[in-house]
Amino acid sequence: MNNYKISKKDVQEKIEENYKELEEKKRLLMLNLIAEILTKATLKQLYETSN
C-alpha cells in the first residue's frame, strides 16, 4: 500500500542536489552582476574620456 515511502537517504540526496543547484544559480547571478558593473563602468569611462 505504501509505495511512496521515501528513505532518509533519498531525502538527503534531494536536499543536497537542490542546495547545489541553488548555489550554482546564486554564483551565476553574482557573476552576471559583476560583469554588468564592469561593463557599465567601462562604458562610462569611455564616454567621459571621449568628450
Res. 9: pLDDT tops 60? yes
Q: Is the pTM of this model over 0.85?
A: no
Q: Amino acid identity of 6?
A: I
- H-only helix segments in the chain: 8-50
pLDDT in tens, 14-41: 999 999 999 999 999 999 999 999 999 9
Q: Is 70 exceeded by the pLDDT of residue 3?
A: no
Written as nine digits, the cell of 12 is: 538527503
**CA–CA separation, 44 and 49 (whole Å):** 9
